[in-house]
């Protein structure tokens, strides 16, 4: 044989795709005519190409099938929605015919929206299922609250609705932010947006509670909420943006919690003492124990962050040394 098998084996893929030079082509053909082992290898190579084609074909079939099922599920969703709509229509007719006006019918209607959003919406919406389902679920609960509140002539709607909005934002925002369509717009700002959504819905809830509250609400609410919101944001910023290692982050977070709890505790103590003294009562303070706990938390936090930062520094130095 003119050439080694190894050499021909290297050339076979090029030969198969028809991209080798004429000299190589002749060499391969001459060798294949003589060598059974290389012929086998060549046959296998050709079979693999057929396999690839088959796989592609299969994927095409699966793709068109899934499109077909998507269309079918949209149809099924519409039918289910129609089934839900039927009892609503019957209720409306019965209610109107009975001369009751629209009373409890609205509650039934609003209540039907909740299962509809959970069952029919994901089936009917071809894209952005998570986003549409979660937002419509939240809306349907708020609508139900509104209907019940109107029916019972209550004045609690805004408190209830804003609380539901905040609670469901806490549950859903991380998922919604990571899915289409929001994920595309938010890119690297998902965490920031979720935190923003928490803060905004929390403030809306506090405002709604404050408007309905009789007692002096704002100073106390502000004194409690502002440090807590600040603390959550600082912790978020430490975790998300600070370029230090996990140990240092843990330490810093403990320090922040210690400081804010300590300050908050002192402030609360001051307010309680002030109002109690105004009322003429004697107050026995328990705060020395609490303060000790916060100071200990702070101290441990500072120690951890110092160790963490030091470890990070040393690691960086050794990495640099190794690179050299």
Instruction: List contacts with Zn ion (CB under 5 A).
Output: 5, 35, 38
User: Between 32 and 204, whose beta carbon lies closer to Zn ion?
Assistant: 32
Distance between CA atoms of residues 100 and 297, nearest Å: 63
Region of 85 (left: φ > 0; alpha: ψ -120 to 50; beta: rest) is alpha
Least separation in angstroms between residue 32's CB and Zn ion is 8
Least distance CB 190 / Zn ion (angstroms): 57
Which residue's CB is nearer to Zn ion, number 42 or number 105?
Answer: 42
| Choice between 27 and 123, CB closer to Zn ion | 27
Nearer to Zn ion, 39 or 316 (CB): 39
Q: From residue 320, how far is each of 58, 277, 310, 317, 324 by CA, in Å?
A: 51, 62, 15, 5, 6
Q: Which residue number, 30 or 269, has a Cβ lying nearer to Zn ion?
A: 30
Position with the least CB separation from Zn ion: 35
CA angle 189, 191, 196 (to 5 degrees): 90
Measured CA to CA, the distance from residue 88 to residue 189 in angstroms comes to 42
Name the minimum Å distance from CB 50 to Zn ion. Answer: 23
Taking the complex as a whole, the smallest distance from the CB of residue 24 to Zn ion amounts, in Å, to 14
Q: Which is nearer to Zn ion, 44 or 180 (CB)?
A: 44
d(CA 150, CA 30): 91
Closest approach of Zn ion to the CB of residue 8, in Å: 5
> Distance between CA 168 and CA 80 in Å, rounded?
25
- Least distance to Zn ion from the beta carbon of 27, Å? 11
Alpha-helical runs (H) found in 35-156: 36-97, 105-115, 121-124, 129-151
Nearest to 300 by CA among 262, 255, 260: 255
Angle at which helices 5-17 and 36-97 cross, to 10°: 40
As a whole number of angstroms, the distance between CA 181 and CA 130 comes to 10
Our CB check for Zn ion shows the closer of 36 and 322 to be 36
- Give phi and psi for 212, each to the nearest 5: -85, -15
Least separation in angstroms between residue 17's CB and Zn ion is: 19
- The gap from C-alpha 227 to its chain's centroid, in whole angstroms, comes to 25
Query: Which residues have CB under 8 Å from 101's CB, separation 6+?
Result: 95
Q: Which residue lies nearer to Zn ion by CB, 5 or 200?
A: 5
Distance CA 119, CA 137 (A): 10
State in angstroms the smallest separation of the CB of 36 from Zn ion.
Answer: 8
């Amino acid at each position: 044989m003119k050439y080694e098998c190894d050499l021909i084996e290297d050339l076979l893929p090029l030969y198969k795709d028809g991209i080798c030079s004429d000299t190589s082509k002749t060499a391969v053909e001459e060798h294949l005519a003589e060598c059974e082992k290389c012929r086998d290898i060549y046959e296998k190579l050709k079979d693999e190409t057929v396999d690839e084609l088959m796989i592609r074909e299969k994927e095409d079939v699966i793709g068109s099938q899934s499109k077909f099922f998507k269309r079918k599920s949209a149809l099924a969703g519409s039918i289910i929605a129609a089934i839900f709509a039927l009892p609503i229509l019957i209720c409306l007719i019965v209610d109107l015919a009975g001369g009751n006006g629209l009373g409890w019918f609205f509650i039934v209607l609003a209540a039907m929206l909740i299962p509809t959003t959970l069952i029919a919406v994901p089936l009917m919406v071809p894209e952005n299922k998570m986003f549409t389902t979660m937002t419509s679920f939240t809306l349907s609960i708020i609508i139900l609250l509104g209907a019940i509140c109107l029916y019972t002539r209550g004045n609690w709607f805004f408190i209830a609705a804003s609380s539901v909005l905040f609670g469901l934002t806490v549950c859903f925002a991380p998922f919604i932010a990571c899915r289409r369509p929001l994920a595309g717009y938010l890119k690297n700002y998902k965490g920031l947006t979720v935190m923003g959504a928490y803060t905004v819905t929390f403030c809306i809830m506090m405002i709604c509670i404050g408007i309905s509250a009789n007692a002096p609400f704002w100073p106390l609410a502000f004194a409690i909420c502002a440090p807590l919101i600040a603390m959550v944001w600082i912790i978020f910023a430490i975790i998300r943006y600070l370029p230090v290692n996990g140990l240092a982050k843990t330490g810093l977070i403990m320090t922040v919690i210690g400081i804010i709890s300590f300050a908050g505790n002192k402030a609360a103590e001051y307010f309680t003492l002030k109002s109690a003294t105004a009322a003429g009562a004697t107050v026995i303070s328990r705060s020395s124990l609490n303060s000790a706990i916060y100071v200990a938390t702070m101290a441990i936090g500072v120690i951890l962050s110092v160790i963490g930062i030091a470890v990070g520094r040393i690691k960086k130095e050794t990495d640099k040394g190794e690179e050299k």
